[in-house]
Amino acid sequence: MKLTAILVEDEANSREILSNYLAKYCPDVALVGEAATIKEGVAIIKEKQPDLVFLDVEMPFGNAFDLLEQLPDCSFETVFVTAYNHYALDALNNHAAYYLMKPIDIDELVKAVEYVVAIKTKENALDGQVLQGGFAKSEGKITIPQQDGFQVIEVSDIYFCKADDNYTEIYLEERKIVVSKTLKYFEEALSEFPFVRIHKSFLVHLNQIVKYKKGKGGSVVLTNGKELSVSASKKSELLAHFK
């Protein structure tokens, strides 16, 4: 699969180096534009609608997160390029597919491109399709601790679990249960069943997913019509479950 890409970087020398690396080592990438500022970057991304944006974190008059906030509906994947590794967590939380440190390592650049190619190929195959469950049966029960004791529920009745600080909201067909346990607790408790973490806030029953939608982070639609966001860091793991 061929990807179109935009490079947003304020340093001309850095743009030239990355552009040359892409031309020489990443034949699946066609660079269709470059920008030196956030304003230029927003304009050219809107015009070209690329598959991939290589985005420097620190730029004059703002940073990469300011640019992303101005493009909430675009479906490109983002590869952050920076000399400051303390941005890693923010990068993932802002839907970055990959994170490259300066000076750029060619092997890491190739890995980043291969990662995005794999995601885009799978996304295009699944986008908008009605997905068939067919995962391992989720017959079984789980014990839910509560203040006055505990409650036992059928695992198959769970649509998804949502984090709320140190609490978890468990969504069933017609009600939800709030439990004073973290989402990590339920991720481990349900590990033998077909559940997948799609976001820092969501643990979803795979058999309840009927549709995947492309986007900056993507989203899934459940059998009850609920749409949940997918984070970039969890997208590859989710897509791997579907053929």
Which CATH number covers residue 111? 3.40.50.2300
- Where a domain ends, among 126, 152, 176? 126
119 shares a domain with 9:
yes
User: Which range of residues forms the domain containing residue 103?
Assistant: 3-126
Of 73, 1, 89, 99, the C-alpha closest to 217 is 73
* CB of 169 closer than 8 Å to CB of 176: yes
* CB of 52 closer than 8 Å to CB of 116: yes
pTM greater than 0.75 (yes/no): yes
Give the tens place of pLDDT for each residue, 125-143. Answer: 887 777 765 566 667 898 8
Of 113, 108, 170, 112, the C-alpha closest to 143 is 170
For residue 231, the model assigns a pLDDT of: 85
147 shares a domain with 122:
no
145 shares a domain with 120:
no
12 shares a domain with 121:
yes
Q: Distance between alpha carbon 57 and the CA centroid of its chain, in Å?
A: 18
The verdict on residue 134 lying in a domain is no
Of 18, 10, 1, the C-alpha closest to 79 is 18
Distance (Å, rounded) from C-alpha 68 to C-alpha 115? 20
The verdict on residue 135 lying in a domain is no
CA atoms within 13 A on the CB side of 127: 11
Residue 6 predicted with pLDDT over 80: yes
Residue 94 predicted with pLDDT over 70: no
Which whole number is the average pLDDT over 17-23? Answer: 97
Alpha helix segments (H runs only) across 26-171: 38-48, 64-69, 88-93, 106-126
51 shares a domain with 161:
no
The verdict on residue 68 lying in a domain is yes
CATH number at 233 reads 2.40.50.1020
46 shares a domain with 18:
yes
151 shares a domain with 120:
no
194 shares a domain with 101:
no
Contacts of 89 by beta carbon, 8 Å cutoff, 6+ apart:
none
CB burial of 162-188 (b: ≥16 within 10 Å; e: otherwise) equals bbeeeebebbeeeeeeebebebeebbe
What are the angstrom distances between the C-alpha of 137 and each of 108, 132, 133, 207? 39, 13, 10, 9
High-pLDDT (> 90) share of the chain, %:
55
